[in-house]
């Protein structure tokens, strides 16, 4: 009976590994990053490490990481970010099987859409604690700041009760480099075009347009390839008249 139980466990392990879907590959990395696997195991990632559906990626306080997905989309994670690849499936000849579901638990990222996002807009979602972001053909930045705010010298409104320029209020901040986005939650809906900045304070309050860049830094380290993505700066984003990103 013991031998039978051991054989069953081995077969289950092989089965789980076989069903793990490779979603992408780490192509740039400036420091430590780990993946919490769907089975509870923890793996330290390095350059060329595979990222699978079900992985929770966690970057350390000085780590930037770029993951290139199999549809040529890219997600660049900031330091101290927790990001879940809930589901990801893409085959060039089978658009009916497209599926991409992500969750930005905390921290920030930049997203460059790939083939899946362009042909299957309705099957792509990026969840955050205050809104769900749907993407197609867009390059944008999202940052979720939790309780306590975020210290950014010289930053613009909205602020907490701290001295001017000291702390950004908690909530979701977005900036658009190319295309347009629509940010929506139970509190309301607002459009944002290339070059504009948005803020959503919580799940029940509507998003608002910020007059200037709130000042959240996204400075890639020198080890990263500067040619990755459109512009590396969100202060001078490119212009586009295409509506190709939706945030619900």
In a domain, 123, yes or no: yes
Q: What are the tokens at 138? A: 């867009």
pLDDT at 108 over 60: yes
How far is it, in rounded angstroms, from Cα 193 to Cα 81? Answer: 26
Question: Domain range spanning residue 82?
Answer: 66-153+171-214
In a domain, 201, yes or no: yes
Closest of 36, 98, 47 to residue 70, by C-alpha? 98
pLDDT score, position 3: 54
- Given pLDDT bands bounded at 50, 70 and 90, which one contains residue 238? very low
Instruction: Give how far Cα 82 sits from Cα of 3, 34, 137, 200, Å.
Output: 40, 10, 24, 19
In a domain, 52, yes or no: no
pLDDT score, position 4: 53
3 state SS of 47: coil
3 state SS of 64: coil
Q: What are the tokens at 176? A: 């658009």
Per residue in 10-44, pLDDT tens?
444 444 444 568 999 999 999 999 999 999 999 99
How far is it, in rounded angstroms, from Cα 28 to Cα 84? Answer: 18
Q: For the chain, what is the domain count?
A: 1
pLDDT at 121 over 90: no
- Given pLDDT bands bounded at 50, 70 and 90, which one contains residue 233? very low
pLDDT score, position 228: 47
pLDDT score, position 124: 84
Residues 209-236, mean pLDDT to the nearest whole number: 68
How far is it, in rounded angstroms, from Cα 191 to Cα 241? Answer: 13
Closest of 83, 71, 72, 59 to residue 220, by C-alpha? 59
In a domain, 142, yes or no: yes
Q: What is the CATH number of the domain that holds 122?
A: 2.60.120.1440
How far is it, in rounded angstroms, from Cα 197 to Cα 210? Answer: 5
Please name the residue that has the structure tokens 């950014």.
Answer: 152
How far is it, in rounded angstroms, from Cα 208 to Cα 198? Answer: 6
* Weakest-pLDDT range from 4-8, 106-110, 209-213: 4-8
pLDDT at 96 over 90: yes
The mean predicted confidence, pLDDT, of the chain is: 80
pLDDT score, position 75: 96
- Given pLDDT bands bounded at 50, 70 and 90, which one contains residue 153? low
pLDDT score, position 217: 84
In a domain, 1, yes or no: no
Which residue intervals of 98-207 are DSSP H helices? 115-119
In a domain, 105, yes or no: yes
pTM greater than the 0.85 cutoff? no
Per residue in 163-198, pLDDT tens?
444 578 999 999 989 877 778 899 988 888 889 999
pLDDT score, position 227: 41
55-91: burial string, b at 16+ Cβ within 10 Å, e else: bbbbbeeebbbbbbbbbebbbbbbbebbbbbbebbbe
Number of Cβ within a 10 Å radius of residue 206? 14
How far is it, in rounded angstroms, from Cα 189 to Cα 104? Answer: 20
């Amino acid at each position: 009976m013991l031998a039978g139980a051991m054989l069953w466990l081995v077969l289950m392990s092989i089965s789980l590994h076989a069903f793990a879907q490779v979603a992408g590959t780490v192509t740039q990395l400036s420091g430590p990053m780990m993946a919490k696997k769907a089975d509870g195991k923890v793996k330290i990632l390095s350059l060329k490490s595979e990222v699978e559906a079900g992985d929770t990626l966690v970057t350390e306080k000085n780590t930037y990481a770029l993951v290139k997905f199999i549809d040529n989309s890219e997600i660049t994670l900031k330091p101290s970010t927790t990001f879940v690849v809930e589901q990801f499936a893409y085959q060039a000849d089978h658009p009916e099987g497209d599926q991409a579901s992500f969750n930005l638990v905390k921290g920030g990222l930049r997203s460059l859409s790939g083939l899946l996002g362009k042909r299957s807009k309705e099957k792509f979602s990026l969840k955050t604690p205050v809104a769900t972001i749907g993407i197609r053909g867009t390059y944008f930045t999202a940052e979720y700041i939790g309780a306590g705010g975020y210290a950014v010298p010289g930053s613009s409104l909205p602020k907490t009760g701290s001295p001017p320029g000291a702390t950004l209020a908690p909530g979701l901040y977005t900036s658009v480099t190319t295309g347009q986005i629509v940010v929506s939650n139970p509190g309301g809906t607002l459009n944002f075009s290339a070059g504009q900045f948005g803020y959503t304070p919580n799940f029940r309050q509507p998003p608002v347009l910020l007059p200037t860049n709130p000042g959240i830094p996204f400075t890639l380290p020198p080890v990263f390839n500067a040619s990755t993505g459109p512009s590396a700066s969100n202060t001078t984003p490119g212009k586009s008249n295409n509506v190709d990103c939706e945030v619900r």
